[in-house]
Amino acid sequence: MKFLVGILAMAVFASALAVVDTAQRDRDVTRALSTHRQAIEKLNVTYAELQLEQGALAAQGRVDQIAQTRLDMHVPSADQITMVFR
């Protein structure tokens, strides 16, 4: 009978250790998940900022201004335009 009680006590102890280990792993995974979610949120903010910047840089008025000032481009006159038909 003492042998059976000893085995049951060891099983309860092993079960308690398994519960503690599982709880610790759960905490670790939850902490990692939280860290990854924060990183995702930062990346989403950065992506939104980059989209706004891209929109500002690609605005037609800005492109026209750069073409005229830096590249010395201009709208051609009517006699410089050639129409090509198939």
pLDDT at 75: 87
pTM over 0.75: no
pLDDT at 24: 97
25 occurs within a structural domain: yes
pLDDT tens digits, 52-84: 999 988 888 888 888 889 999 988 898 899 989
Cβ–Cβ under 8 Å, residues 73 and 67:
yes
85 occurs within a structural domain: no
pLDDT tens digits, 27-41: 999 999 999 999 999
First CA to last CA distance, the chain = 103
14 occurs within a structural domain: yes
28 occurs within a structural domain: yes
Number of domains in the chain: 1
pLDDT at 63: 86
DSSP letter (8 states) at residue 1: -
Whole-angstrom distance, CA of residue 38 vs CA of residue 46: 12
84 occurs within a structural domain: no
State the residue range of the domain holding 62.
2-74
82 occurs within a structural domain: no
